[in-house]
Structure 1
Amino acid sequence: MSISVSRFDLNLLLVLDALLTEQSVTKAAKRLFVSQPAVSASLQRLREIFDDQLLVRVGRQMEVTARGKALAAPVHDALVNIQQVLNLRQDFEPATARRTFRISMSDYCAITLLPRLVRRLAREASGIGVVVEPVGPESIRRLESGDLDLCVIPDERRSLGTPMHPEMLLDQPLYEDRFVCVVAADHPLSGSLTLKEYESYPHAKAFFGDTMVTIYDLAYDEAGVASQTQVQVPNFSSLLFQLPATKLIATVPAGVAEMLKSLIGLKSLHPPIELPILKEKLSWHLRYEADPAHRWLREQFVAEAQSMKQGAAPAAP
């Protein structure tokens, strides 16, 4: 039996998408900012419309039925396309616009680039908001599915996986930085590290997940450089706070090291090998290419990145 769009409450698609994603009435209600009974009532209507349970309880968990799994991707894509149509207003004015963008980036970019963008938004587009989440193994998939508007990611994408449809993703170079080794200000090492020194001291490392590897770790591994990892933390900024009063060595982008080393009491050293340049880029899906608000925000990213004096971080002593 076919279902007429004219007789279907499209708001139910929002509920269905939330239910199939969260696999929980309670979580779906929180995601939609509505009451749990309201979601339960919508689920009952959806079950009647599709003649399927969609979600069934198995033990203490809810599981999606085969019909529900078949509906998940088309429903999500339909909502993304509807949102895209609603956003395609040619009279976009930054000063009066009201919109929130979802962006994925590392804490390094959140420290070095994001504050510049936020200040620009405060000056020129106070109604434009950004919700930032950590970059991770799922970022590319979320960009493809429409759950993210933009990603700021390294040009070396091996650690983030390969997109399912690479021809649908567009990129814009932003800025470059280099990697430095960082130690406590009173650390016995100084200047340029030798391989022997690098391998003989304990290390603190940023750990972004089991499936992600930083480009400098790839370089160290390919060069056969060994290290003793004593401390692992989930981002670069917290990594630097582990170094004072220790003999630990960390490798981080120079930009974040220069911003925090005076505050924390650290010094920079030249790495023991030539490390690749960190090249950050902005990525988005083709569906947003013609979106005026999206295009404007991308332009602001590029303008602020250009103002960062690409690759001009002070040299390590």
Structure 2
Amino acid sequence: MIPDLSQLLILDSLLREGSLTRTAELLGMSQPTVSRALARLRTHFDDPLFVRTGQRMVATTRALALAGPIAAVLDAARELDSGPAVFDPLTAQRSFGLYMVDGAVVNILPQLLAGLARLEDGASGLQLRSVHIDPGAIEAQLERGHIDLAIGRFPQLVNNIRRRKLWTDEYACVMRAGHPCAGQLDRDAYLTHRHVLIEMEQTSQHNGAVTRKLETLLAPSRILCHVPSYTSAAHIALHTDAIATIPLRLARPLARDLGLVLARLPIDLPPVHLALYWHERSHRDPANVWLRAFVRSTLTASDPVSVDL
């Protein structure tokens, strides 16, 4: 039978102290208890382990060879008993995988990278990776640890998946500078002009519902095309007279970067609810705990969405 931890503690102390009496004192045991443990260790290892020389017990070659492995076992045991590990973003070396739809990559990832840069010394050991995966595999990838967080709206994630709301967004319109509706987009004008609609391949029930509603409001001739992402819709709007209807938090940076005109949406559409998603297996992982707090604090510190466009 493998020696238990108490026996290994005694052997470790004997190797350092060379004394039964001193070992018993340090470990709070009686000397007979230490002697009995040594006898069992000698039987297990089939070696005397120590021979007496004068007033000291001198370790045998076999005992000296055991010193390193025993110390490693005891160190591991102490680590198990020391409580949860601590994640220090300033010293850690870690690459975090994030899954986001294209709009979040454009709007959220730059904010997170800027947040890392603001940490002391730029937290040079930390990296953020935007990972492209099949949307149907998000749950499995979170479970396997291939990605650490998913950011977006994924109501299909239910099995052992935790979530935390980030924010609720509204929709807005973007169009090219000089568009006939720039500055005067009302309901009639919105329904009269042509549109580029978003038809994501991702399993987004919300996006599909919004697109279906717009298809019922707009005449077929008013739909210029369908595209698979918000950013591609904004680029189509830049080069045509089509209007793109996209979430406001994304519409703002796209309008700024592409020189588009931002306008209030003159019809009612359901709001967009964005959340963080992670697997139960990583819920208490110190690194994942830090990452979730970092994402939330960085994004909520950004300018809040205002209805004033």
Same fold (TM over 0.5): yes
Given that 1:239 and 1:250 are in contact with CA atoms closer than 8 Å, whether structure 2 keeps it comes out as: yes
Is the alpha carbon distance of 1:210 and 1:129 closer, same or farther for their aligned partners in structure 2, counting shifts above 3 Å?
A: closer
Which moved further from structure 2: 132-141 or 108-117? 132-141
Is the alpha carbon distance of 1:162 and 1:303 closer, same or farther for their aligned partners in structure 2, counting shifts above 3 Å?
A: closer
Superposition deviation, residue 169 in structure 1 = 1.1
Superposition deviation, residue 145 in structure 1 = 4.2
Equivalent-residue separation in structure 1 for 2:203 and 2:288 (angstroms): 30
Residue 172 (structure 1) aligned with residue 155 (structure 2): no
Is the alpha carbon distance of 1:245 and 1:292 closer, same or farther for their aligned partners in structure 2, counting shifts above 3 Å?
A: closer
Is the alpha carbon distance of 1:268 and 1:137 closer, same or farther for their aligned partners in structure 2, counting shifts above 3 Å?
A: farther
* Equivalence for 2:129: 131
Of 97, 100, 112, the residue aligned with 1:102 is 97
Look at both structures and tell me which one has the larger radius of gyration over its CA atoms.
Answer: 2
Q: Which runs of 5+ in 1 are unaligned?
A: 1-84
Superposition deviation, residue 300 in structure 1 = 0.4
Residue 152 (structure 1) aligned with residue 154 (structure 2): no
Query: CA deviation digits over 1:71-126, x for unaligned, max 9?
Result: xxxxxxxxxxxxxx9xx971322111111111101222222222221122234322
**Larger relative helix fraction:** 2
* Equivalence for 2:180: 188
Which moved further from structure 2: 301-310 or 234-243? 234-243
SS in 1 for 2:163: strand
Of 87, 90, 96, the residue aligned with 1:92 is 87
- 1:255-294 → structure 2 map (5 Å cutoff): 255-294=249-288
Given that 1:96 and 1:127 are in contact with CA atoms closer than 8 Å, whether structure 2 keeps it comes out as: yes
The aligned amino acid for 1:221 is R
The aligned amino acid for 2:189 is E
Is the alpha carbon distance of 1:220 and 1:205 closer, same or farther for their aligned partners in structure 2, counting shifts above 3 Å?
A: closer
Superposition deviation, residue 132 in structure 1 = 0.7
Which moved further from structure 2: 170-179 or 117-126? 117-126
The aligned amino acid for 1:202 is R
Of 281, 289, 298, the residue aligned with 1:295 is 289
Superposition deviation, residue 144 in structure 1 = 3.6
Query: CA deviation digits over 1:159-186, x for unaligned, max 9?
Result: xx353x2xx1111121232111221121
Given that 2:248 and 2:305 are in contact with CA atoms closer than 8 Å, whether structure 1 keeps it comes out as: no
* Equivalence for 1:117: 112
- 1:1-317 → structure 2 map (5 Å cutoff): 90-124=85-119, 125-134=123-132, 136-154=135-153, 157-158=154-155, 161-163=156-158, 165=159, 168-189=160-181, 190-194=183-187, 196-209=188-201, 211-215=203-207, 217-219=208-210, 221-222=212-213, 224-226=216-218, 228-312=222-306, 315-316=308-309
Given that 2:249 and 2:305 are in contact with CA atoms closer than 8 Å, whether structure 1 keeps it comes out as: no
The aligned amino acid for 1:127 is G
Equivalent-residue separation in structure 2 for 1:177 and 1:245 (angstroms): 26
Is the alpha carbon distance of 1:140 and 1:206 closer, same or farther for their aligned partners in structure 2, counting shifts above 3 Å?
A: farther
What is the TM-score with the length of structure 2 in the denominator?
Answer: 0.62
Superposition deviation, residue 201 in structure 1 = 2.6
Given that 1:220 and 1:226 are in contact with CA atoms closer than 8 Å, whether structure 2 keeps it comes out as: no
SS in 1 for 2:236: coil
CA RMSD of aligned residues (A): 2.8
Equivalent-residue separation in structure 2 for 1:281 and 1:132 (angstroms): 16
Equivalent-residue separation in structure 2 for 1:279 and 1:237 (angstroms): 19
Is the alpha carbon distance of 1:116 and 1:270 closer, same or farther for their aligned partners in structure 2, counting shifts above 3 Å?
A: closer
Superposition deviation, residue 221 in structure 1 = 2.9
SS in 1 for 2:104: helix
Given that 1:186 and 1:245 are in contact with CA atoms closer than 8 Å, whether structure 2 keeps it comes out as: no
Superposition deviation, residue 245 in structure 1 = 4.5
Q: Which runs of 5+ in 2 are unaligned?
A: 1-79
